[in-house]
C-alpha cells in the first residue's frame, strides 16, 4: 500500500499543476470569435425576450451591468441536469445524466471521507456530526457507484449500437468509458458482495493524512488504484470540460463586452491584427507573411474556374 500512497501524492500534485496550467492557457488565449447571439444570461430582465444593453440610449456612456445571479440560473441546470443534452440529444440524456452523477456522488463520497477524517483530528470522532457524515459517506457512495455503473453501460450501449453515433466514436471515447466502467463496476461489485468499501475508503484517506490504517481487501485496492490513475489521467483529456466549459460560456457564448475607444478590448484587437495567419484558403492570401490587418483590407482573389 505504500506504493499506492506515493502514487496518490504524485497524482494530487500532477492534477493541481496540470489543471492550473490548462486554466492559465485558456485564460490567456486571444478573444474568441464571439457568437453575438441573444439572449445572454447576464442581461437579467432583458434576457427574457432576447434584449441587450444596446437598447439603452447612449449605452456606451454607462458602466456595463451584468447580472451574475441570472447566469447561475443557466449554469446550474446545465451542470446538474445536463439541460443541453436534454434539449439536443434526448436519447443520450438518461445515461449521460447517470454517468455524470456517478462521478459527482463519488466525488462527494471522497469529500465527505476527508471531512470525516478531519473531524477525527479535531476530536469529534464520536460526535453526532461525525456519525451523520459517516452515514452520508455510505449514501453518496452507494448512489454514485450504482448510477455510474448503469450510466456508463448505457453510454457504451449507445456507442456500440446506435449507427448515427458511429461518426463521433473514437478510441479515446471508448477508452474513457471503459475506464469509468471499471472503476464504478469494481466498486459496485465490492458493495453488493458485502465488502465494507466505504470504511476502507475512509481509512485510505486517513492514511494519506497521517492516520494509520490496514485491512484493505484486494477488490478495494483495485478500486482505489483505478480511481487514482483516473484522476492522474483526467487533466490530459477532453474531460477537463468540467472547468473549460466556463470559458466556452463566458468568453464565447456570453461575451458581449463592447469595444470602446481606449478600452482593454481595443488594445487586444490591435495586437491580434498583427498576427500572421497561415490558412490554406488561397483566395484570402493568408501566406504567413501578411498580418490580419493586411488580409482583411486586401482584395479577395477571384476564382477563374468555371
- 138 shares a domain with 66: yes
Q: Is the domain of 226 the same as that of 293?
A: no
Total domain count, the chain: 2
End-to-end CA distance of the chain: 72
Residue labelled with grid coordinates 454607462: 62
Task: Examine the domain organization and report whether 280 and 235 are in the same domain.
Answer: no
Who contacts 86 (Cβ-Cβ below 8 Å, separation ≥6)?
Answer: 93
Query: Is residue 259 a part of any domain in this protein?
Result: no
193-238 per-position pLDDT tens digit:
999 999 999 999 999 988 877 889 999 999 999 999 999 999 999 9
Same domain, 64 and 203: yes
Tell me, yes or no, whether 157 and 55 share the same domain.
yes
pLDDT of residue 83: 94
pLDDT for 81: 96
Q: Does 242 share its domain with 130?
A: yes
One domain, residues 182 and 40: yes
CB-based contacts of 229: which residues, under 8 Å, 6+ apart? 7, 11
Instruction: Give me the domain span that covers residue 291.
Output: 273-297
Q: Which residues of the chain, if any, have pLDDT below 70?
A: 1, 301-306
> What are the φ and ψ backbone dihedral angles of 124, each rounded to 5 degrees?
-105, 25
- Identify the pLDDT of residue 305: 55
pLDDT score recorded for residue 302? 66
Do the domain assignments include residue 94? yes
Q: Does residue 221 form part of some domain?
A: yes
* Same-domain check for residues 142 and 286: no
CATH number at residue 33: 1.20.950
| Rg of the Cα atoms in the chain | 25
Q: What is the pLDDT of residues 231-268, one digit of tens each?
A: 999 999 999 999 999 998 988 889 888 888 888 889 99
Residues 155 and 290 in one domain: no
Domain membership flag for residue 78: yes
Q: What is the pLDDT of residue 285?
A: 80
pTM of the model: 0.88
Amino acid at each position: 500500500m505504500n506504493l499506492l500512497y506515493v502514487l496518490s501524492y504524485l497524482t494530487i500534485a500532477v492534477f493541481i499543476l496540470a489543471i492550473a496550467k490548462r486554466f492559465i492557457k485558456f485564460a490567456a488565449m486571444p478573444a474568441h470569435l464571439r457568437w453575438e447571439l441573444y439572449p445572454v444570461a447576464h442581461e437579467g430582465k432583458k434576457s427574457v425576450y432576447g434584449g441587450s444593453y444596446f437598447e439603452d440610449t447612449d449605452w456606451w456612456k454607462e458602466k456595463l451591468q451584468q447580472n451574475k445571479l441570472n447566469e447561475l440560473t443557466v449554469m446550474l441546470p446545465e451542470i446538474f441536469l445536463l439541460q443541453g443534452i436534454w434539449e439536443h440529444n434526448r436519447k443520450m440524456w438518461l445515461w449521460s445524466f447517470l454517468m455524470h452523477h456517478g462521478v459527482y456522488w463519488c466525488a462527494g463520497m471522497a469529500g465527505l471521507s476527508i471531512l470525516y477524517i478531519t473531524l477525527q483530528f479535531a476530536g469529534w470522532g464520536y460526535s453526532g456530526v461525525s456519525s451523520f457524515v459517516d452515514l452520508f459517506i455510505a449514501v453518496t457512495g452507494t448512489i454514485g457507484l450504482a448510477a455510474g455503473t448503469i450510466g456508463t453501460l448505457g453510454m457504451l450501449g449507445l456507442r456500440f449500437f446506435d449507427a448515427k453515433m458511429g461518426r463521433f466514436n473514437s478510441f479515446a471515447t471508448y477508452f474513457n468509458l471503459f475506464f469509468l466502467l471499471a472503476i464504478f463496476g469494481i466498486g459496485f461489485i465490492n458493495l453488493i458482495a458485502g465488502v465494507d468499501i466505504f470504511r476502507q475508503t475512509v481509512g485510505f484517506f486517513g492514511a494519506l493524512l497521517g492516520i494509520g490504517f490496514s485491512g484493505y481487501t484486494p477488490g478495494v485496492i483495485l478500486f482505489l488504484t483505478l480511481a487514482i490513475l483516473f484522476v492522474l489521467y483526467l487533466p490530459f483529456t477532453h474531460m477537463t470540460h468540467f472547468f473549460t466549459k466556463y470559458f466556452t460560456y463566458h468568453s464565447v457564448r456570453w461575451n458581449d463586452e463592447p469595444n470602446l475607444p481606449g478600452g482593454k478590448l481595443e488594445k487586444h484587437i490591435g495586437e491580434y491584427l498583427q498576427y500572421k495567419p497561415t490558412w490554406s484558403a488561397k483566395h484570402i492570401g493568408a501566406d504567413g507573411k501578411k498580418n490580419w490587418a493586411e488580409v482583411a483590407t486586401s482584395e479577395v482573389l477571384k476564382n477563374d474556374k468555371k
